[in-house]
Every structure is written in C-alpha cells, then in structure tokens.
Structure 1
Amino acid sequence: MKKTITLLLTLLVGYAQAQTADSVTIRKIYDEALANGKSYEWLRYMTKQIGPRLSGSAGAQKAVDWTKQVMEKEGFDRVFLQDVMVPHWVRGAKEVAYIQNGKQKVTVPIAALGGSIATGPKGVEAGVIEVKSFPELRALGPDKVKGKIVFYNRPMDPTKINTFEAYGGAVDQRANGATEAAKLGAVGAIVRSMTNVRDDNPHVGGMRYGTGVPLIPTAAISTNAADLLSKSLAENPNLTFYFKQNCETLPDAKSYNVVGEIKGSEKPDEIIVVGGHLDSWDLAEGAHDDGAGCVQSIEVLRIMKALGIKPKRTIRAVMFMNEENGLRGGVQYADLAKKNNEKHIAAVESDNGGFTPRGFGIVGTPDQRAKVMPWKPLLAPYGLLEIGAGGGGADIGPLAQLGTVLFGFKPDSQRYFDYHHTTVDTFETVSQRELELGAASMAALVYLLDQHGL
C-alpha cells in the first residue's frame, strides 16, 4: 500500500512540475509574439505589396516566391515547394448590372462567382423569379422558371451565435444555385451575398456546375441590392434584370504549396503541421482570408527558434495553394504525405480570420480529444476557453485519412463575414494585437502537441 501511495505521489509531483514548466514556456511564447512578433508586418507586405492571390494568377506566384524567401530568411531547417496544378479562372472586365422597373433603371453591384461562365458580350436580360430554397424553386417547375433569372434570396440566419453555422446554412445557394436553376431552364442565377451586413459589397466565392446540366452565368449581388430587388419584385413582378460578366476559365496552371520546417530532435519522423492557405479571391487583399493564417503559421516556427525551443517532433508551416476554388493544395499535400510514408500526428489550421482567439476545434477520436483536455488550464489564461470537438480546416481535412488529428483555430467569429470574399478584406481591418495573440495561441498548442503527443 505504501509503495502504491508513494508511486501515486511521485506521478502527481511529476505532473505538477511538467504543468509548471509548460506554463512558463507558454508565457514566454506569448511574450515573444507580443513584444517581437513579425506576423503583422509580414501581413502588411502580403496584402499591400502583393495583394489578390487567386490560384493561377501572377499574384499567387508572387506570394509563393515571397513566403519561401521569408522562411529561408528566418533560417528554418528546410524550406521547399510542392508542385500542384490549380484551376485558372479570371474575372475579366468589371461586371455591369441593373434592375429595369418600367422606365426606371437602377444600377446595382454584382460580381461573378468563381468558376462561372460569362454572359456573352450582350449580357443577359430576363424576368426574375425570387426563391429562398431549392425545394421552393423545384415546386415552381420549368413552366415558371424557363427563360428567367433565378434570384436566391435566403439570408444567413442572424440568430446563430457562431456565424460559420449561419454561413453553412446559406452557402448552398452560391455553390449549387446555377445548376439547380439550369435544370429548370433558367438563363441565369444571382445569389444574395453571404453576410448579415447590409452593404453594397458583393461577397464572391466559388460555385460548381453539375454534370449533364446546361451552364448558365451566375453572380453574387450585394445585400442592399438584394433587398432592393426583392422589394421591387413585390411591387412589380414583371420587372427585368440585366447583367453582363466577362469571366473565363483558362487551362490549369502550375503552382505550389510552400513548406518550411524545423526538424525534430527526438522523433523527427513524427510531423506536426501548422498552416493557412496562400490564395485569396481576386477582388480582395485577402487579409483575414487567409493572409492572417499564413503569417501566423510562419510565426509559430519563428517563435520557437527565437526562444531556443528545440522541438521533439518535426514542425512544419505549410502555405497551401488553391483552397478557395479547388482545394488542390490540401489534397496534393496529403497525397504526397501518404506516398512518402510520412507520419502526421497533428495538423493545425488558421482560416477563420485574424480576430481575438477563442479556442480550437478538434477532429479526432474521443480518446485523442481527452488527451488535450488537461491542457485547458494552461491555455485558459489567454482566453482559449472553447476547446473541444469541432471543425479542423479545409486544407488539412485530407490528412484525416492518414489518421492525423485535426485542430481548427477558432477566433471570434462575429466580424468575419463582414469582410469575407470582398474588396474590404484589407490589411486595415486586422488588429495587430489580435493577430499576434492568434499566432501565440497556435504556437502554444503546437508546443504542447510536440511535448506530449497524442
């Protein structure tokens, strides 16, 4: 009995000492990020000197070259590129749209959705059918839809506290709206922007065409314009809508994932990934989506080097290419990891903006999540209270097939969709302190994953 008690006390003392050592290191991580952080200035360069970075564009290639140079300058043990073929869609000349209500013509802001076809040089003008769901559209049937423009006007649910849930409940209109409308003979589709903010900024994003269905042009319309169109239709169901867009899809282009790593000192074959996606939509600087995640991920490795932390496991910062309109970078990374027999024990992604840190969502088994729970007291002093089952991230998602535990960084979500996929997703909307707190939060988690494993 005495031996059992002695062993238990020894274990408890050892655990307390480890917790104390971890607490001290995590404090140092935050001090380094907040006093000497580089993420904010890196983000300034990415957004102001490079700007939009849609896959296949010159901006995307500049971002590849620049992030590789940054990681080499920081002296990471290895920096390399992974080839990936990506879609190459271009917007062309700015879109034009207006509501023709009797003799009154009102110009409204729209923007083509990524992957859409063009309207042709004359544009498209037709009557409008307003719906809020696919079942409502199907119930109308081809007799009422054929030859018309379908207007999807279901807003994000404002009662959802987590705005990503609200986004998930509305984004099917953007992704599949053109296909569903074309099945019934529509000549075009316009979609209410994915935001609860009333503004004049079209919120773009990707869409996809179904097989065996005619291709029709589709665009996002700003929320103010959507409200105006809905009100105008209620007053005059016979009005028409005109829009012209000049986009096209070019042959796939060669691009790259950019990878930097610090080699593990004890278990170099076990890999922990931290990353974000390098590409952004063509209208935006891509500050929150996802310049923030990229610079935070590079900062994780910089902090470790600055503090002299020699990780047990290999830590990789990965700048994924083509999250926005294809996810090919994430798929390629996972395919190469499988081909090379790499063991990825964990992956952390930041793709929810550079806002105040709240916690991490975990995709893994109950036992794996349970191993993380003892770390909550270490992270709670820094506002990381929301730690538990949740989403990981689109780019790291393909790693799940390899048994990798996924962690999605969760900042406060309330403002993200004010800026998402718009011209106002700019450097000026990012708080330096919030960005640096996020980088420190990710570094703290990566440190704990490295020290204790899963």
Structure 2
Amino acid sequence: MKFLLFIFAGVHLLPLNSGKATYRHDNSQRTFQEIKDEIAHYGDVAKAIINLAVYGKAQNRSYERLALLVDTVGPRLSGSKSLEKAIQIMYQNLKEDGLENVHLEPVKIPHWERGEESAMMLEPRMHKMAILGLGSSIGTPPEGITAEVLLVTSFNELQRRASEARGKIVVYNQPYTNYSRTVQYRVKGAVEAAKVGALASLIRSVASFSIYSPHTGVQEYQDGVPKIPTACITVEDAEMMSRMVSRGSRIIIQLKMGAKNYPDANSFNTVAEIVGSKYPDQVNISKYSLVMESDLGTFIPSGLQFTGSEKARAIIKEVMSLLQPINVTQVFSAGEGTDINFWIQAGVPGASLLDDLYKYFSFHHSNGDTMTVMDPKQMNIAAALWTVVSYVVADMEEMLPRS
C-alpha cells in the first residue's frame, strides 16, 4: 500500500466547486469547446500552484514531509506497526493543515514479516550471500534448507531440466531485458520451481544495475502447488554461480528464512479517502472522478499516463496543457497501476505519473532505496503536476466522463 501526499498548508486558492450549479457524471450536454474554455480559466490558478510548489514557500515541502516519514518510521510494510505509525503521522499532518473531514477508517490487511534470513554457500567455497526474502514467502525450517543448486536462465530451461530439479534449490540467473518482462521470474519463480520438485528458489534481483544489492518485491503462490521459500539474491552472486556451473563446479547452499504470514491480521487504520486503493467496494465510486498513483517514483516527470474513455482523455490533455510553464504536458496511455487497478476495473478513470526512470530500477525495492535517491527539485515539479491535475479535475463543473 502506497501513500502519495503533497500538502500545501496555508494555501488559499479557489474553493472547490465554488459557485458551481451542478456536478454531473455526464457532460454530453456541453460541447468540448465549452469544456476547453472552462479548463483554460484555471490558467492563473495553475500558475499560482506551480509558483508555490516550484519557486515559492512550498518548494521542497514534499521532500521534507517524505524525509520526516522515512527517517522517523523507516520501512512501512502493509500491516506493520511502522505503517500504523506512519499513518498516524500523516493523519496529524492533515489535521494541522486544516483539511476537512480527515478521519481514520479500519481496513483488513494481510500481514507478512520477513524475519531473520541468511544464505551461505558451502561449496565450492564458503561465501555469505546477501538476500532479501520475497513478499509472502514462507519460511524455512529452523535448521534451514541445505541443498545443491540447479541454475537456470529461463523458465524454458527449467522445464527442459525438470528431472534435475527435485530436491534442489533452483537459482534463476535470468538476464535483465526490461522490468515488465524480467519481473515474471520474481513473481512466478517459486511456483515454477515447486512444480518440478525444488525445495526453494533464489531469484537474481530484477535490477538494471547493482552494487551487490538484492532487490525484493512481491511473489505469488498458486493453489495446488507446494509453497517453497523464495528470496532474491544479488546480480553479482547469480553471475558468479553461473560461471562456477560453467566450469563444472557443484554448488551447495544453506538457506534460512524466518518469514511468517499472518493472513488474519487485525484491522489497521488508514487515512480515509487518501489511501485504501485496494478497497473500492467499501466506498461509493460514483463520487470519484479520477484515481492517481505514483508507483515509479517522483523523479522528473515526463507526463501522465491515463486510462479512461476517449472523452476523458481529451479533457486530461487540456488539463495537462496548464503545466506548460514547467514543460510537462504529455499524456500517455496505460495509466493502470498496482494500487489503482481495482478502481479502474470498477470504472473510475486512472492516471499514473510517468517519470524519467534512468536510475529507478537501480534502487527499486532495495536497501538503497532511501532519501539519498530523491532530489527535492524534481519532487517539487512532481508535486506541482499532481496538485494542478487534482485541483482542476476536482473543481470542474462535471466529473470526467466514463466509458
């Protein structure tokens, strides 16, 4: 579960829907030119938001707020005490900013804990490996799992060598092509290894660059397939083992993971109507004009990815034109995102921030994903984009048309 907040305390622009007579889903009664004219009237408001976020007293505020959360709380895994603490900080910030109707609502969140974990290469030499357990992985027995490695570079190779996999630890050394293709090994690696009788699986981190840094992430078990422990290893160790295997070396690894799943976790709080994106069935979706997420960081934005009707896309393009002062006006396809897909499937238009991702997957899901990666100036521009789009879409006379 992610939280995207750009708070501008003390900002007084125009009250939402000020003087507006109606707020309808269907804007078919208006011509597109009338809608364009309405959006154009937000030009001065958009410039005020941009000036405030990028050049004015609110510059660096998003960075400072995020740094407070990250430095004070640390990692905020779903269902954890750290997440609860982070939500309380957010809740208090929103109250202090004078926002209306800020309250907490309970949600059920399955809780998983990584626990102590280690991987030790025993043969052909002693080598302590850096690992990160994958989300929802089961743990090993207390004594761990010690077994020979079967190293493969693809699911196809695993199938060809299925007879060799039983009782072994499958290690995937899949080459990185792009994230969407390569991530399938992290998501499905344990299931495919379990199908051929493996005891555990280790996946080369899905990363475009590495300085001996394992990258974690979610993985998915499958009904009817045994659950086996699974973790990510570094690119360097995966490639080293590949070289060892090519020389005919026999690799033995001892894996220990103390991971635990708590599927029936107690309720945790969430800030109402700001998070909870996996629970559209708990709210009246007819009230929501647009749902947005930033799942690819907050680096220099290239534009906004959007999923919705063609009429809604045309309106979003007009809204994005208001961001000409910071030269971020493009609207791309595929606005779906991990945390908003449920809303989009329910009919709500969705948008995702598209950033310059040149370094994103070097740090993604690793211990190196810290505030050091962030640039406050880049975050200012991202904050301006989100705020202009949010404000204008919320304040327009009618909601975005749906399919």
Gap change, CA 1:82 and 1:231, over 3 Å in 2: same
Map 1:321-336 onto structure 2 (within 5 A): 329-332=276-279, 334-336=280-282
Q: Tell me which residue corresponds to 1:100.
A: 122
1:420, CA displacement in angstroms? Answer: 1.2
Cα distance between partner residues in 1 of 2:86 and 2:321: 38
Residues 36 and 315 of structure 2 are in contact (CA less than 8 Å); yes or no, is this contact kept in structure 1?
no
Instruction: Confirm or deny that 1:420 pairs with 2:364.
Output: yes
What are the Cα deviations for residues 251-300 of structure 1, in whole angstroms up to 9, with x where unaligned? 423213213xxxxxxxxxxxxxxxxxxxxxxxxxxxxxxxxxxxxxxxxx
Instruction: Confirm or deny that 1:208 pairs with 2:220.
Output: yes
Q: Which amino acid aligns with 1:215?
A: K
What are the Cα deviations for residues 377-404 of structure 1, in whole angstroms up to 9, with x where unaligned? 3323323243132223222221124421
Gap change, CA 1:17 and 1:404, over 3 Å in 2: closer
Residues 83 and 254 of structure 1 are in contact (CA less than 8 Å); yes or no, is this contact kept in structure 2?
yes
1:204, CA displacement in angstroms? Answer: 0.7
Instruction: Confirm or deny that 1:182 pairs with 2:197.
Output: no
Instruction: Confirm or deny that 1:439 pairs with 2:383.
Output: yes
TM-score, reference length from structure 1: 0.75
Q: Aligned-residue CA RMSD in angstroms?
A: 2.2
Instruction: Confirm or deny that 1:372 pairs with 2:316.
Output: yes
Cα distance between partner residues in 2 of 1:114 and 1:358: 30
Gap change, CA 1:176 and 1:337, over 3 Å in 2: same
Q: Which amino acid aligns with 1:155?
A: P
Cα distance between partner residues in 2 of 1:49 and 1:377: 38
1:408, CA displacement in angstroms? Answer: 0.7
User: Unpaired segments of 5 or more residues in structure 2?
Assistant: 1-30
1:431, CA displacement in angstroms? Answer: 0.8
Q: Tell me which residue corresponds to 2:283.
A: 337
Select the structure with the greater relative contact order (CA < 8 A; seq sep ≥ 6): 2
Map 1:5-404 onto structure 2 (within 5 A): 21-34=41-54, 35-37=56-58, 38-93=61-116, 95-102=117-124, 104-141=125-162, 143-157=163-177, 166-250=178-262, 251-259=264-272, 318=274, 320=275, 329-332=276-279, 334-338=280-284, 342-404=286-348
Cα distance between partner residues in 1 of 2:32 and 2:104: 45
Query: Residue 171 of structure 1 aligns to a residue in which SS?
Result: helix
1:443, CA displacement in angstroms? Answer: 0.9
Residues 353 and 416 of structure 1 are in contact (CA less than 8 Å); yes or no, is this contact kept in structure 2?
yes
- Give the helix-richer structure, 1 or 2: 1
Gap change, CA 1:140 and 1:22, over 3 Å in 2: same
Query: Residue 204 of structure 1 aligns to a residue in which SS?
Result: coil
1:78, CA displacement in angstroms? Answer: 0.8
Between the two proteins, what is the percent identity of the paired residues?
30
1:342, CA displacement in angstroms? Answer: 3.9
TM-score, reference length from structure 2: 0.84
Query: Residue 255 of structure 1 aligns to a residue in which SS?
Result: strand
Q: Which amino acid aligns with 1:98?
A: M
1:48, CA displacement in angstroms? Answer: 0.7
Gap change, CA 1:375 and 1:97, over 3 Å in 2: same
Q: Which amino acid aligns with 2:176?
A: M
What are the Cα deviations for residues 104-135 of structure 1, in whole angstroms up to 9, with x where unaligned? 21222112111111122222222222222223
Cα distance between partner residues in 1 of 2:278 and 2:38: 37
Q: Tell me which residue corresponds to 1:450.
A: 394
1:373, CA displacement in angstroms? Answer: 2.6
What are the Cα deviations for residues 213-235 of structure 1, in whole angstroms up to 9, with x where unaligned? 22211110011111111111211
Cα distance between partner residues in 2 of 1:136 and 1:233: 14
Gap change, CA 1:402 and 1:213, over 3 Å in 2: closer
Residues 359 and 383 of structure 1 are in contact (CA less than 8 Å); yes or no, is this contact kept in structure 2?
no
Cα distance between partner residues in 2 of 1:19 and 1:214: 55
Q: Which amino acid aligns with 1:362?
A: F
1:30, CA displacement in angstroms? Answer: 1.1
- Give the strand-richer structure, 1 or 2: 1
Cα distance between partner residues in 1 of 2:315 and 2:292: 16
User: Unpaired segments of 5 or more residues in structure 1?
Assistant: 1-10, 158-165, 260-315, 321-328
- Pairs aligned (count): 364
Residues 357 and 383 of structure 1 are in contact (CA less than 8 Å); yes or no, is this contact kept in structure 2?
no
Query: Residue 126 of structure 2 aligns to a residue in which SS?
Result: strand
Cα distance between partner residues in 2 of 1:16 and 1:343: 23
Q: Which amino acid aligns with 2:131?
A: I
Q: Which amino acid aligns with 2:364?
A: H
